[in-house]
């Protein structure tokens, strides 16, 4: 039974459990690892007290950022991080979370997580002062961050929307294209040791090949066999699960940053403070979106792609090679998604779940803009990005995604065809 229980918790508690599961030692204990942007933080004092406030003991993090404190019995404990022992430049991400109440169960070790961030970047730092000028500063800052996120979503959404428009496939495995790109860049950057820029170029190329291969050897074959759209949607879920666990298998469950551009000092531009990497990333994203957009409008292939998205049968009868166009869309979509993944990895850490986590936002952007329209996806994604970041003015940061997903549902209710979509698509 015990074995079955272990097997089951590993699955259910998801991956956190899966990866920290060998901790079935005897004796109850509290433990944790302090990290700031992927780097261990040592010499921080953490004190543990019982529910009644009686101290149990103190622990100090080691060079690897780890600390551990055995406790006498199962029960609830107060764990306090002594903020004065944090190294300069590092602060708690949530100021009011210096003391945590945690429950320790019989015979198990309990991981305690304190989120750290570089000083000045923690949540609520700007909200602490509430005079009007800092409010507008905060809005400006959040608008900038919203564009940053929105552009990444837009890169992903463009491919998803075009694939949907041309083949009708709602591809739940599109998020894994992002993760694939980020993982490739991580491999070439951290394991091989190339500069990140070259690693990004290589991974965008591989992402394109991956997209091409998926259509050539998988989705194209399925279309030929006459698999229905709902079947293909569920197949894409299977593919997403498969790829995600392949990434987990090779990469592990922990997020990891690239080797470069990690703790860039921020620069101040007007009311906005951000690391230079953000400006450059946004510039690249914008340039790629413009290039793809112009290509869709002006080139022969782009016009053909829009024609196929509009009406595949009519496009085929006017002499367009529909399969060829779809293959080009998959290739470009894969490459652009890989770029989005690299950028996402730069903005946060590379992890095996990153693509899946952003996928729902991509869906929100695509539906908001109108399923199947290329430019609608762009508009919708930026709206979603802005909405997510700006909503943190009123809702807690941890719930910002909830707002965006609620908007998705409301759009369905009032304008199901999206901003730029047309009525007939929704039928």
Residues of this chain that interact with another protein (CB under 8 A) are 1, 3-4, 7-8, 10-14, 16, 18-19, 21-22, 94, 97, 102-103, 168, 170, 222, 225, 227-231, 233-235, 237-246, 248-250, 252, 360, 363-364, 367, 396, 398-399, 401-402, 405-406, 408-410, 412-413, 416, 426-427
Helix 276-298 with 300-310: angle, nearest 10 deg: 80
Q: What string of DSSP letters covers 308-335?
A: HHH-HHHHHHTT--HHHHHHHHHHHHHH
SS3 state at 70: strand
**Minimum distance from CB of 413 to another protein (Å)?**
4
Alpha-carbon gap, residue 85 to 106, rounded angstroms: 31
Comparing CA positions, the residue from 188, 178, 204 lying closest to residue 340 is: 178
Q: Which residues pair with 90 in a beta bridge?
A: 118
**Minimum distance from CB of 371 to another protein (Å)?**
8
**Minimum distance from CB of 222 to another protein (Å)?**
7
**Minimum distance from CB of 106 to another protein (Å)?**
12
Residue (103 or 321) nearer to another protein, CB: 103
Residue (255 or 416) nearer to another protein, CB: 416
Residue (63 or 413) nearer to another protein, CB: 413
**Minimum distance from CB of 183 to another protein (Å)?**
14
Residue (302 or 355) nearer to another protein, CB: 355
Residue (144 or 247) nearer to another protein, CB: 247
Contact indicator for 381, 369 with CB cutoff of 8 Å: yes
Helices H / strands E in the chain, number of each: 14, 13
Residue (105 or 198) nearer to another protein, CB: 105
**Minimum distance from CB of 219 to another protein (Å)?**
11
Q: Is 220 exposed, middle or buried (0-12, 13-18, 19+ CB in 10 A)?
A: middle
Run of H or E residues at 212: helix 196-214
């Amino acid at each position: 039974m015990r074995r079955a229980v272990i097997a089951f918790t590993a699955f259910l508690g998801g991956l956190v459990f899966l990866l920290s599961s060998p901790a079935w030692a005897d004796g109850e204990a509290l433990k944790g690892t302090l990290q700031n942007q992927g780097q261990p933080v040592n010499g921080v004092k953490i004190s543990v007290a019982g529910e009644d406030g009686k101290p149990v003991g103190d622990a100090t993090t080691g060079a690897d950022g780890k600390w551990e404190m055995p406790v006498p019995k199962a029960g609830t404990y107060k764990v306090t991080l002594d903020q004065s022992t944090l190294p300069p430049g590092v602060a708690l991400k949530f100021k009011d979370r210096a003391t945590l109440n945690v429950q320790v169960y019989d015979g198990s070790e309990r991981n305690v997580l304190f989120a750290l961030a570089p000083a000045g970047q923690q949540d609520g730092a700007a909200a602490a002062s509430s005079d009007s000028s800092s409010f507008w500063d905060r809005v400006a800052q959040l608008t900038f961050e919203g564009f940053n996120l929105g552009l990444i979503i837009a890169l992903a959404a463009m491919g998803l929307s075009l694939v949907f428009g041309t083949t009708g496939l709602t591809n739940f495995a599109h998020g894994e294209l992002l993760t694939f790109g980020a993982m490739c860049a991580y491999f070439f950057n951290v394991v091989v040791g190339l500069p990140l820029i070259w690693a990004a170029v290589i991974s965008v190329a591989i992402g394109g090949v991956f997209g091409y291969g998926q259509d050539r050897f998988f989705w194209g074959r399925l279309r030929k066999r006459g698999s229905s759209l709902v079947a293909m949607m569920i197949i894409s879920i299977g593919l997403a699960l498969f790829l995600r666990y392949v990434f987990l298998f090779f990469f592990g469950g922990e997020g990891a940053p690239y080797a470069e551009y990690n703790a860039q000092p921020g620069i101040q531009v007007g009311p906005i403070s951000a690391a230079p990497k953000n400006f450059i990333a946004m510039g690249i994203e914008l340039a790629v979106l413009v290039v793809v957009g112009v290509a869709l409008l002006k080139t022969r292939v782009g016009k053909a792609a829009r024609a196929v998205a509009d009406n595949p049968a009519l496009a085929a009868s006017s002499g367009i090679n529909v399969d060829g166009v779809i293959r080009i869309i998959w290739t470009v979509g894969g490459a652009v998604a890989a770029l989005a993944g690299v950028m996402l990895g730069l903005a946060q850490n590379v992890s095996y779940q990153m693509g899946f986590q952003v996928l729902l936002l991509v869906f929100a952007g695509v539906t908001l803009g109108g399923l199947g329209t290329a430019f609608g996806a762009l508009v919708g994604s930026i709206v979603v990005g802005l909405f997510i970041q700006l909503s943190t003015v009123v809702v807690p940061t941890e719930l910002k995604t909830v707002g965006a997903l609620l908007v998705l549902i409301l759009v369905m209710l009032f304008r199901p065809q999206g901003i730029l979509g047309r009525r007939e698509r929704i039928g």
